[in-house]
Amino acid sequence: MCAGHVETVEVTGSAKGVDGWFPLERVHAVYDHSFHAQTEESLIIDFVNPDRGPGARVSVELSATSANRLIQAIQDALEDGERRHGPLQVETTA
Amino acid sequence: MVTHETMIAETVLFPGHQGDQISGYLARPMGPGPYPGVIVIHAAPGFVDHFKEVARKFAAAGYVAIAPNLHHREGPGDPDDVGSAVRAAGGVPDDRFLGDTRGALDLLRSLPYSSGKVGIIGYCSGGRQSYLAACSLPLDAAADCYGGGVVAGPEELSSTEPQAPIELTQDLACPLLGLFGADDGRPSPEDNRETERVLESHGKTFEFHTYDGAGHAFFADYRPSYRQKSAVDGWQRVFGWFGKYLS
């Protein structure tokens, strides 16, 4: 395989990288070669802030099963949390 | 093959596309030469150390090798972080790649210990780029290692890769070696047969080899895709090819 598929969404939030916390701007969901995982391809999620340079990045490489589990876990946590505690605060621009 | 046990290997700066100063890793044997040159094109995930090792391997074999950092403009930073940023932006534009590679070619030919003969080798996306360069620049030999997208339909083209390199085959001006894995999906064995058909139709000099039991990136000894038997045989074919056409 010699091609990646990239889906990008604008997000509001924070991520913690090697230099500490930074405000997030985008998340890339990518199907491409693994850089570290022991599989030829992975579902890669890059949490980034391009304004802060390429090092402002938190990256994970997941198998297909793991990616689907993560999707479900995010949905479950969000739905259960909002049911118990009400909707998450509406996002504001930093 | 004579092994050159002493060499100089260092990062250099040179003018690339539109005169932009970019970096590359230059490795050469210690000696007066003349030595043929090789341009090493790194894969899309980034300008990782593996490609510097490849440049040193060529230097040990008697070549002046340069591996241009095609992601120089998006750095500095860890190669995988920079590669991620390039990927998100759609990859290295073909015209920028050709300008940078033209700069590397001019640099190699200007060196006092150069023989003037220069080949190119690329891996993964760099394989496609090698094919593109071999159809666009005055090179003397080329090797495409599992470059996906040489054959590409309209839906696979983009603003950064606006044309399928196979459409430029009539302009291929040097012998081409192709090394592929039978289990690769891009390029697939069908893609490679189509490329062979077009190369034959234009009367080009080429050799393609497809390894059973190997997929994409079988040369990449830092990844699980590495296939020792295929890589060892592939290196022999690469040195045989460049030895024949760059001497």
Domains, in order of start, for chain B: 7-245 (3.40.50.1820)
Beta-carbon contacts of B49 under 8 Å, excluding residues fewer than 6 positions away, are: none
Element (H, E) at B84: helix B79-88
Chain A: nearest CA to B41, how far in angstroms? 14
Q: What is the per-residue pLDDT for A3?
A: 64
Pair of tokens at residue B198: 């077009």
B105 has pLDDT over 50: yes
pLDDT tier, B1 (very low <50, low <70, confident <90, very high otherwise): confident
**Mean pLDDT over the full length of chain B:** 97
**Mean pLDDT of the B193-222 span:** 97
Q: How near does any CA of chain A get to the CA of B76, in Å?
A: 8
So what's the pLDDT on residue A91? 65
**pLDDT exceeds 50 at position B197:** yes
Q: Percent of chain B, pLDDT > 90?
A: 97
pTM: 0.94
Check residue A94 and give its pLDDT: 47
Residue B187 exposure: Cα atoms within 13 Å on the Cβ side:
35
Among A37-41, B178-182, B198-202, whose mean pLDDT is lowest? A37-41
3-state secondary structure (DSSP) of residue A20: strand
Per-residue pLDDT averaged across B184-194, rounded?
96
Whether B225 and chain A come into contact, CB under 8 Å, resolves to yes
CA angle B142, B143, B144 (to 5 degrees): 125
How many CB pairs lie under 8 A apart between chains A and B? 82
Q: Decide the pairing of beta strands A5-17 and A20-33.
A: antiparallel
Rg, C-alpha atoms of chain B: 17
Q: What residues of A are in contact with residue B217 (Cβ under 8 Å)? A: 33, 40
A2:B84 CB<8 A: no
Q: Which residues of B are catalytic?
A: 124, 184, 216
Q: Which of B44, B42, B45 is nearest to B54 (CA)?
A: B42
Q: Which residue has the higher pLDDT, A35 or B209?
A: B209
Percent of chain B with pLDDT over 70: 100
pLDDT on residue A1: 52
Model pLDDT for residues A55-94, shown as the tens digit of each residue: 999 999 999 999 999 999 999 999 999 999 998 877 655 4
Please indicate if any CB of chain B lies within 8 Å of the CB of A20. no
Q: What is the mean pLDDT of residues B179-201?
A: 97
Coil, helix or strand for B160?
coil
E strand or H helix that includes residue B247:
none
Q: How far apart are CA A27 and CA A29, in angstroms?
A: 6
Q: Which amino acid, B129?
A: Q
What's the Rg (C-alpha) of chain A?
15
